[in-house]
Amino acid sequence: MPTKEDIINTVKETGACCIPDFLSESELQEAREDLDKACADMGFGDQKSGERARLDSPDLLSYPGIERIFNHPETKELAAMFTGDEDPFVQEVVANRYYPPFPPLDPHMDENFGLVPPFMRLTWALFLDDTTAESGALCYVPGSHLRNYVDDAEADKQPPTDDEVEHADYVPIPLTAGTLVLRASDVWHSVKPINHLRRYLTGSYISRTRLTPWFKKDIERIITERAAQ
Ligand SMILES: O=C(O)CCC(=O)C(=O)O
């Protein structure tokens, strides 16, 4: 059983780490039921094959089976260890439901070169369905997040090229339902073609104390929007 320190070291070194069986069977079932309710309530009641429902709203927290996962003490503790911030900010509150068949997601990164200082932001995803290496696996390039950090010791470090990101060696992460995947938010990733129902909840935690001006503004915007809801 890896310790929390082992888990965080793995995320820092490789960009990702899986924690299987993060939820009990009953928690998993409640999360699935609540995600289906949220999809119906938020306009995806008649989702069709080949469509992706992406819900991006703090309203998801009003569903107890979903809220439990976003406020899970262990994820919070891991995020605090990763960011070095006692109380990192919950930046994203998102749920996804893909109805198969759905095409692969091309290799990409969520954060451009230099946007995120090292280990400032942790993304987690709690998967509600099994994925295999052939169907629906999230893939990543171990160590690629390190390419995205500006490094004072390497003044002429260049951003990765589109070609590098497209042709890197992507490793699939097959997993069972109930697995939590932690990833450095800027690790390069892609998704294999999806041939089965694929649902997950995902969020990100960002350090409050090491924010760059861009993120400071973005977080002020999120706080204002949430207060108005
Ligand atoms: O569905 C996933 O696992 C990843 C989705 C993704 O990379 C994206 O929406 O940018």
Total domains in the chain come to 1
Instruction: Please answer whether residues 51 and 97 qualify as being in contact, where contact means their C-beta atoms are separated by less than 8 angstroms.
Output: no
Q: Ligand 1 test: best mutation among 51, 138, 173, 180, most atoms within 8 Å of CB?
A: 138
| Count of Cβ atoms closer than 10 Å to residue 163 Cβ | 8
Structural domain that includes position 58: 4-228
91 class by beta-carbon count within 10 Å (0-12 exposed, 13-18 middle, 19+ buried): middle
Q: How far is the CA of 191 from the centre of ligand 1 (A)?
A: 7
b/e sequence 95-122, b meaning 16+ C-beta within 10 Å:
bbbbbeebeebebebbbeeebbeebbbb
The whole-number pLDDT of residue 152 equals: 83
Place of tokens 């973005």: 218
- How do residues 183-209 score in pLDDT, each as one tens digit? 999 999 999 999 999 999 999 999 999
For 143-152, how does the pLDDT look when each residue is reduced to its tens digit (9 = 90+)? 999 999 988 8
Rounded to the nearest angstrom, the distance between the alpha carbon of 28 and the centre of ligand 1 is 21
pLDDT confidence of residue 153: 87
Beta bridge partners of 35: none
Q: Please tell me the predicted confidence (pLDDT) of residue 116.
A: 87
How far is ligand 1, taken at its centre, from the CA of residue 54, in Å? 10
Query: CA–CA separation, 48 vs 154, rounded Å?
Result: 49
For 152-189, write each residue's pLDDT tens digit. Answer: 888 899 999 999 999 999 999 999 999 999 999 999 99
CB 126 within 8 A of CB 180: yes
Angle, alpha carbons 12-191-47 (nearest 5°): 125
- Angle, helix 4-14 to helix 73-83, in steps of 10 degrees: 50
Report the pLDDT value the prediction gives residue 75, as an integer from 0 to 100. Answer: 97
Q: Which residues are CB-neighbours of 119 under 8 A, at least 6 positions away? A: 12, 82, 83, 84, 184
Give the tens place of pLDDT for each residue, 84-119: 999 999 999 999 999 999 999 999 999 888 888 899
* DSSP state, residue 129: S
What is the model's pLDDT at position 115?
Answer: 87
For ligand 1, the distance from its centroid to the CA atom of residue 190, given in whole angstroms, is 7
Atom of ligand 1 nearest to the CA of 96: 1
CATH value at residue 163? 2.60.120.620
184, exposed or middle or buried, with CB in 10 Å at 0-12, 13-18, 19+? Answer: buried
Two tokens, residue 27: 């928690």
pLDDT tens sequence across 44-87: 999 999 999 999 999 999 999 999 999 999 999 999 999 999 99
User: What pTM did the predictor assign?
Assistant: 0.96
Tell which one of 96, 126, 128 to mutate to probe ligand 1, the residue whose CB is within 8 A of the most ligand atoms. Answer: 96
pLDDT at residue 124 greater than cutoff 90:
yes
How many angstroms separate the CA atoms of 5 and 118, rounded? 17
Query: 155 C-alpha vs ligand 1 centroid, how far in Å?
Result: 32
**Residue of the CA atom closest to atom 7 of ligand 1:** 190
- Are the CB atoms for 148 and 226 separated by under 8 Å? no
The per-residue pLDDT of the chain, averaged, comes to: 96
List, chain by chain if needed, residues with CB within 6 Å of any ligand 1 atom: 96, 105, 138, 189, 191
Model confidence at 210, in pLDDT bands (50, 70, 90)? Answer: confident
